[in-house]
Structure 1
Amino acid sequence: MDQNVHKNRSNSLTRNRNFMMLLAAQFVSNLGEWLYLVALLTMVGLKWNATPWEITAVTLSMALPVLVGGPIAGVIGDRFDRKMLMIVSDLVRALILVGILLSGSLWQVYILLVLKGLMDVLFSPAKSGKVKEVVQPQHLDQAVTFSSSVEQMMKIIGPALGGLVMALFGIRMCFVVTSITFLISALLLIGVQGRPKNASVGGVGNGIPTEASKSDTKSFWQDISTGLSVIYSMPLLLSGLVTLCSVLLVLQMADTQTVTLFRMIPGVADNMLGYCISASGFGTLLAVLIVRKIGWSTLSKMGVGAAATGIVFAISAVAVVSPLPEAMVYVILFTAFFLAGAGGGFVFIPFQMLLMKRTPEHMTGRVFGTVGSLTSAAVIVGPMLGGFLVTAWGPVMTFIISGMGTAMLGFILIALKGKIERKDNNTLDESLPVQAVRESAL
């Protein structure tokens, strides 16, 4: 009997048409994103021979819109129709990819990446809110697992397919294919339905004036601050976010300079970056499949993942300058990226599950927008530090410093997790501050 109940619950999400349409849209758009990203980095880093700072500027152009626009996009995602926001974002991004295809200089690429980033930041919190609309609370963990699995599968398939497309048709074709995937995603999203905004959680739409229905009189900027207030009220979520941002900061010091590191390998192939990204995707996909089955706490998983990721990043840098045969260096790099991907999965996936479960639906946009803004701050500062370190000390030392720093953060989190979890339990016993929830409801 228990097995039948479990089977029914497991299958019910796959019978959720709206969620599966969202997942299909994510499938094609994620595929295009990886095709475009690998082509972009290959074009700028290996074909145009960009300097470390120019490569850093590419990453900054993609992350800066999320830093500035994350909270604002979160409020927009909570106030307006989420499906329409996602469709508009897909259509505009398809046009922007055509612009990148036709660009001939780095400054043009930077401008187009900023514009694309604005559409990315509009899409992300709207999608998270839509998932909360169409998925039952008991299936949110499974929904996160499905979504993360698709993302990592595309991280595996996308770079490999990108390498094949570049080899057969050239780099520019990758941008064409990505533009088409955004158009397909928009078409799929048209078929997604969901609870109307006036029927959302919080008492809106029942004909009774509530705190939620009065929120339109509030300041737009007060709404923006709500996401941070909600996160701050949950010690476990707050510590997880601090850890996530810290790991991202340290990883970005090296991650954005991977191309610079690979240039130290004599005769390195153009598709080397794509293969290593695919290896990383395999590792993260493995983490996605097993992370729910491991009975550790959220912070334990994040701590172990951070430590493992950091150690293998440092090892990969040492391997590049070692006297080992070239084939052995490639094996070490592929293995290191695989293990780094698995470690990253143990950091990101448990936090995503925690964030999805703890965030009230009517505040999804603002909370996810705030998280996106804070993580983008780490993504922006990290490459700047990485560019400085690579310029001053070289990529090998940058990888070693960032890797060991990440490992240290993981060990610190494991040491402090008991204290954090006790504080979080005490907060749960007292419940979320009622006033904070009422003031933030829409």
Structure 2
Amino acid sequence: MRHYSQKLLALSRQRFLLINRNYTILWLGSTISLVGDVLFMTVLTLWIGTLLQNQSYAPLAISGIALSAALPALLIGPFAGVFVDRWHKQKTMRVMDVMRALLVLSLLPLLGPDPLPFLSAPTSALSLLMKLGATYLVVAATSSLSQFFNPSTKALLGWIVPEEKLPRAFALTTGTAMIAWSFGSALAGICYAYLGVRLAITLNAASFICSWLLIGCMRVSEPAASLVIQKERLHYVFKELWEGLRCIEEKLLLRTLLRAESLLAFGLGIINTLAFFFITQNLHVPLNLYGLFISVPSLGGIVGIWFVGWSVTKTGHLRVYYTAMLLAGIAMILIALQSQPLLALIGMVLSNIAQSCAEALVGPLLLSATPGRMEGRVFSTFGTATTTCSLLATFLSGYLGSTLLQTVALHFSAIDLNATSLLNICAGMALIAGGLYVYRHRDR
């Protein structure tokens, strides 16, 4: 009887595991941390927008949050990969979690409706400037630490997940990220309206602590070679960085994926920048439904999780990857031509299914082509390249939509095209170009 109950308990535990115990813990910790990040960034945006609602420089101040989060990926990301390859990845992730929690909590005394205690009333403008400056610094610092945390997470998947289950693992991670983004955004509005900015900061710090506790429960035996820490000299760092870049250049699959992912990031950068204008102006969706409208397509990530596991066994990783890129690009072009909200929403869900398939397969493809000692450098380089392309797309689409293409209006029978539509079509063409590039180099 006792043996039967123990067996039943073991089976019940197995049901709640995703792939295996280590992956389940890592997935749960990463999800909690991601929800906290989205909540934190969204609440900061709402806080600055409310604080500066009557100021002409409010849009610039809000864009400072995104810039503060993106710059570390460009400046620190490639170098972080060098150290990730040297350090113990599980310990690195835990240290980054603690440091990020402390940084976020440092904002508590500064943010709030009252002036800073060490500044008098006549210096309220300086107080506001210091609050904004401190916010940007903390966002940039936490993003810098994430450049060490994120590649460590992806590299660790190669040790804790069997090779044949990597597509499913990355699919689960990608789909969960979409849902976490949707849930975090919705929670941020409620949290800010009823509980204030300080509670959002506390919740984000708590999410890092939860991640720290969960990652500590993992039982990981990393290869001894990855635990060797060389003497930290500047010329060694640059030498190893160059070795990682040369590895990408010499391996056709890595080189092909880097260019395809850059085109994907460029296209998505355009879509994300113009989403508000496309939904409210082209589709005429009311402002009070905007949040719901952008959150529904993320459900496509759930379907993508199932579809990746099924399709990979039938056709292979690379074929599914470039097919998904092509389908996502075609869907984007068709969405850009729409003026009916329901048809556009269906198209967005289908596009997200294809995008989640492509994004879920990048990790397994990279791990299959990358030597174990260079995984951190390769993932960091990909992160830097995609962030650069996304920022370039954000700048170009915002500039062209506000200047050269602002007055463009084309009419073709039942189709009306404006600047937003044309730029979204360009985004779809970028994805199609990426898919075709991978297709062309698939057998070389």
Do the structures match in fold with TM over 0.5? Answer: yes
Aligned counterpart, 2:287: 268
- Equivalent residues of 1:309, 1:340 under 8 A apart: yes
- Equivalent residues of 1:311, 1:403 under 8 A apart: no
Aligned counterpart, 2:25: 21
Give unmatched runs, 5+ long, in structure 1: 1-6, 206-211, 323-327, 424-442
Q: Which amino acid is the alignment partner of residue 89 of structure 2?
A: R
- Equivalent residues of 2:171, 2:357 under 8 A apart: no
- 1:64-100 CA-to-partner distances (Å, cap 9, x unmatched) read 1011111211111111222222112112222333355
Give the secondary structure class of the aligned counterpart of 1:93.
Answer: helix
Give the secondary structure class of the aligned counterpart of 2:287.
Answer: coil
Q: In 2, Cα distance between the equivalents of 1:368 and 1:13?
A: 26
- Pair 1:220-2:231 in alignment: no
Q: What TM-score, normalized by structure 1, do the two folds share?
A: 0.76
Aligned counterpart, 1:279: 296
Q: Which amino acid is the alignment partner of residue 215 of structure 2?
A: L
Alignment CA distance shift 1:107-1:215 (3 Å): closer
Aligned counterpart, 1:343: 354
- Pick which of 400-409 and 179-188 moved more: 400-409
Give the secondary structure class of the aligned counterpart of 1:421.
Answer: coil
Match of residue 62, structure 1, among 60, 69, 72 = 69
- Pair 1:232-2:254 in alignment: no
Q: Aligned-pair distance for 1:287?
A: 1.5
Give the secondary structure class of the aligned counterpart of 1:422.
Answer: coil
Q: Aligned-pair distance for 1:197?
A: 5.2
Q: In 2, Cα distance between the equivalents of 1:31 and 1:73?
A: 24
Q: In 2, Cα distance between the equivalents of 1:240 and 1:290?
A: 21
- Pick which of 301-310 and 240-249 moved more: 301-310
Q: Aligned-pair distance for 1:259?
A: 4.2
Q: In 2, Cα distance between the equivalents of 1:422 and 1:219?
A: 36
- Equivalent residues of 1:314, 1:401 under 8 A apart: no
Give the secondary structure class of the aligned counterpart of 1:110.
Answer: helix
- Equivalent residues of 1:56, 1:383 under 8 A apart: no
Q: Aligned-pair distance for 1:263?
A: 6.5
Give the secondary structure class of the aligned counterpart of 1:193.
Answer: coil
Aligned counterpart, 2:440: 419
Q: In 2, Cα distance between the equivalents of 1:245 and 1:421?
A: 17
Q: Aligned-pair distance for 1:224?
A: 0.9
Q: Aligned-pair distance for 1:313?
A: 4.8
User: How many residues align structurally?
Assistant: 396
- Pair 1:137-2:156 in alignment: no
Match of residue 83, structure 2, among 55, 67, 76 = 76
Q: In 1, Cα distance between the equivalents of 2:46 and 2:327?
A: 28
Q: In 2, Cα distance between the equivalents of 1:59 and 1:417?
A: 30
Equivalences for residues 92-241 of structure 1 within 5 A: 92-99=99-106, 102-103=110-111, 104=128, 106-170=132-196, 172-196=198-222, 198=224, 200=226, 219-241=236-258
Give % identity: 22
Q: Which amino acid is the alignment partner of residue 257 of structure 2?
A: G
Give the secondary structure class of the aligned counterpart of 1:219.
Answer: helix
Q: What TM-score, normalized by structure 2, do the two folds share?
A: 0.76
Q: Aligned-pair distance for 1:15?
A: 6.8
Q: In 2, Cα distance between the equivalents of 1:194 and 1:316?
A: 45
Alignment CA distance shift 1:71-1:188 (3 Å): same
Q: In 2, Cα distance between the equivalents of 1:386 and 1:417?
A: 25
- Equivalent residues of 1:65, 1:121 under 8 A apart: yes
Q: In 1, Cα distance between the equivalents of 2:156 and 2:50?
A: 39
Q: In 2, Cα distance between the equivalents of 1:362 and 1:109?
A: 36
Give the secondary structure class of the aligned counterpart of 2:441.
Answer: helix
Q: Aligned-pair distance for 1:36?
A: 2.4
- Equivalent residues of 2:263, 2:389 under 8 A apart: yes
Aligned counterpart, 2:263: 246
Q: In 2, Cα distance between the equivalents of 1:370 and 1:132?
A: 18
- Pick which of 385-394 and 51-60 moved more: 51-60
Give the secondary structure class of the aligned counterpart of 2:144.
Answer: helix
Q: Aligned-pair distance for 1:191?
A: 1.8
- Equivalent residues of 2:278, 2:421 under 8 A apart: no
Q: Aligned-pair distance for 1:239?
A: 1.5
Q: Aligned-pair distance for 1:373?
A: 1.4
